[in-house]
Structure 1
Amino acid sequence: MIDVALLGIIRRWHIRDQVPLREIARRLGISRNTVRRYLRSEMTEPAYAERQTTSAIDKYAFQLSGWLKTEAGKNRKHRRSLKQLHLDLKELGFEGSYDRVAAFARQWKVDQTDRVNSASKRTASK
């Protein structure tokens, strides 16, 4: 994988200094075809795969989703708050912050809304 600094060096040597591709490849220790490919591309910087990181809440996601689904079916006055859900998760061993629980709940609510909307579109089109 080529990085942005190396891409800048290749372009500078080729465009400004008129260094041949073969010489650039020799100096950098990379393939001549690689040098050619990056010079021909319109890319200003290489694209990297999106990082997949794990969160502290991933371990408790199933439990929290179940609680949120249960709470959504209750009357508003009888629902547990997110703070209470966070405290309940802490009793199970969750070491993350309240903000992680709130962010998870927001995303869960958006996903539920999207699921309902897509289901209603399918039934309406039949």
Structure 2
Amino acid sequence: VSPTPVRGRVYYRVFAGVHEDRLDALAAMEVLVADGHKRVAKLWDVRPVRLAYDLGTFDSLKGATGRIRALSADGIPAYVLRDSAEAPAYRVFAGAYESEEAATAMGDMLESNKLSAELISRSGVAL
């Protein structure tokens, strides 16, 4: 879930995973439509969202999920990816954005919870 400002309002965008390429993402979207989780497939809905807030790196999945639980208790939606460069390393992120401007609502949410996090080009693979 990524809070994103659009024309003066904040919308909560729901993302359906991390995909290797656009074709894989389009196939996943078709499954969501076929299963009734999404009404219609639109090409516009599949976009690269490389930026995310870095909320920590952990050497165990247990540590990463503990961090996610703590963030969730503060109302911060977060997720974990396995770092493809280091083993074992699990990275916790908040949001997924196309631009710094799109990430401002999540940045404000983190700041209001007194959390400092850097907006980075995320990397990692889905668990």
If the TM-score is normalised by the length of the shorter chain, which range does it land in? under 0.3
Structure with greater Cα Rg: 1
User: What TM-score do you get using the length of structure 1 for normalisation?
Assistant: 0.23
The one of the two structures with greater contact order (alpha-carbon pairs below 8 A, sep at least 6) is 2
In terms of fraction of residues, the more helix-rich structure is 1
> Greater strand percent: which structure?
2
TM-score using structure 2 length: 0.23
